Chains A and B, each alone.
Chain A
Amino acid sequence: MQHAPHSFVAASLFGMLVLSATFRPAYGQTAPVAEAKPAEPVLTLKAALVLTPEFCPSNSTLKSFWTNGKTKLVVGKDACAGFEPALRGAFSNLTRIADAAAAGDAQVVLVPRFVDASTKEAWGGDEVVIFLEWTLKDQSGKTVWLETVQGHAKDIIGKKNPDGEMVYGDFIMVMRQTVKDAVRDLVRQSASKMAASPELRKLAQQSAPPAAQAAPPTQAPQ
């Protein structure tokens, strides 16, 4: 009989721990990721960004023991909204098109493709990783640049945000926000990697009129 209250205390503590690990409390926000803001376009190229009707609504379905292929990360919508403004900072001229065949006189055609995504639910915070592959082709249709970009985000639930406020949230809300932040990271890295690419700089120099070719290249954003 004497053991009953102690067992109750232990069971309650255990229950609270399990609940706190499984359903972490209320309001979600994730670590902010800096936006890509190149000071000026670094690639003097007329670019066509191909965002197909299939790409923009694309989801990534996770396959694991727990999710059993039922968890979907909505990645395409935010990527489509973010790429155009971010890449305008990298190219002197950027047009969004829905089909590569409509590239017209674009000097470079930008084609994104989602490769994979993964989430990790951990004690220290959920992590989301998204892989996207860029294929950039020149006017003749030859590939000049191929790159895999990795977007990463980790939720900061139970920790302080940059404003010093404690962050709380339900699991679904936090996961959605973490995915959004991973996509934002993906967008930022895409613009930054393109701007820094020696192959694209070379293409820009080759495509420039003779007078412009003599000018020194602009620095890539850091």
Chain B
Amino acid sequence: MLRSNPGGVASVLVVLFLVQSASAGPKFADYPVRKASECAAIAERAGLMIGAQPVEDLDEQKAYFSTELKPKGFVPVFMVLENGSSGDSFLFDKTAIKLGEAGLSDSTPQTMTKGKAAAIDSGAIASVFFVPLAGAVFASIAFNHAAAVQQNILRREIQSKTLSPGVSVHGFLYVPVPKKGAREKIHLRVPVTRSGTNETLVLDVVF
């Protein structure tokens, strides 16, 4: 019967293609992992180096996350921590990362100088709060294939880890920003504790 009507066959094929496309789900490009020293903002202390690279371009956000995060009020920031020390292990706890506006209008985002660090220590940060976890981003994502997009966001999030000598950890933080217009400079304060001690080092990055 279908042989007698090529139009019928074509419609079945079109339907098959559409169903397959709808079920295939979104694709997520691999983010090129970089060293801390190659990031836009870096800080180093006691052999520990941290790098932060915001992904602000909407096309890039679409490629890596299959959605534009800026209009949803977030900027994904690639973070990498490297333990270059020879004998110390450090505990990185992602829930301890704090965020605040730097309040340093002329600061250079490459590195923190002693002066800037002192300014931050003395309370120059306008407001400080904990960086929300990936779950906070989920509320803003409500569309077809949302589960796949959410899982990708979750799996790319940086996770708490013990950094043994020579070990690194990387992943994304999702930093809240205004949905419209330019953002203020972001200041991330990352506390890291030496394993088996109460000694905490704080690394600050501004970008």
Contacts of B147 in A (CB 8 A): 62, 64, 66-67, 118-121
Cβ-based interface call for A147 (8 A): yes
Q: Chain B nearest CB: distance from A168 CB in Å? A: 18
Label chain B's interface by main secondary structure. mixed
Label chain A's interface by main secondary structure. mixed
Number of A-B contacts (CB under 8 A): 121
Contacts of B141 in A (CB 8 A): 64-65
Tell me which of B1, B138, B160, B196 contacts A64 (CB under 8 A).
B138
Contacts of A14 in B (CB 8 A): 12, 15, 19
Tell me which of B1, B12, B159, B195 contacts A148 (CB under 8 A).
B159
Cβ-based interface call for A127 (8 A): yes
Known: A9-B1, A123-B25. A142 touches B161 (CB 8 A): no
Q: Chain B nearest CB: distance from A87 CB in Å? A: 17
Q: Name the interface residues of B1-39: CB closer than 8 Å to any CB of A.
A: 1-2, 5, 7-8, 11-12, 15-16, 19-20, 23-25
Q: Name the interface residues of A98-149: CB closer than 8 Å to any CB of B.
A: 115-116, 118-123, 127, 129, 131, 133, 138, 142-148
Contacts of A148 in B (CB 8 A): 159-161
Cβ-based interface call for A203 (8 A): yes
The interface stretch among B46-54, B88-96, B106-114, B175-183 is: B88-96
Q: Chain A nearest CB: distance from B8 CB in Å? A: 3
Q: CB-defined interface of B150-165 with A at 8 Å, one 1/0 digit per residue?
A: 1100110001111011
Cβ-based interface call for B133 (8 A): yes
Contact status B154-A131, CB under 8 Å:
yes
Cβ-based interface call for A33 (8 A): no
Contacts of B162 in A (CB 8 A): 145-147, 197, 199
Known: A129-B151, A148-B161. A13 touches B1 (CB 8 A): no
Contact status B151-A133, CB under 8 Å:
no
Q: Chain B nearest CB: distance from A70 CB in Å? A: 13
Chain B interface size band reads 35 or more
Contacts of A18 in B (CB 8 A): 19
Contacts of B159 in A (CB 8 A): 115, 131, 133, 148, 150
Contact status A118-B150, CB under 8 Å:
yes
Known: A118-B154, A123-B25, A131-B154. A9 touches B8 (CB 8 A): yes
- Give the complex CA separation of A144 and B195 in angstroms: 5
Tell me which of A7, A62, A64, A143 contacts B8 (CB under 8 A).
A7
Nearest B-chain residue to A148, judged by Cβ: B159
Selected A-B contacts with CB under 8 Å, 13 pairs: A3-B5, A6-B1, A9-B8, A10-B11, A17-B15, A21-B23, A64-B146, A64-B150, A123-B24, A146-B161, A148-B161, A197-B164, A198-B89
Kindly list 14 other residue pairs between chains A and B, CB separation below 8 angstroms, not including A143-B193, A145-B195. A6-B1, A6-B5, A9-B1, A10-B8, A10-B11, A62-B147, A63-B139, A65-B144, A123-B23, A143-B91, A146-B93, A146-B161, A197-B164, A198-B165
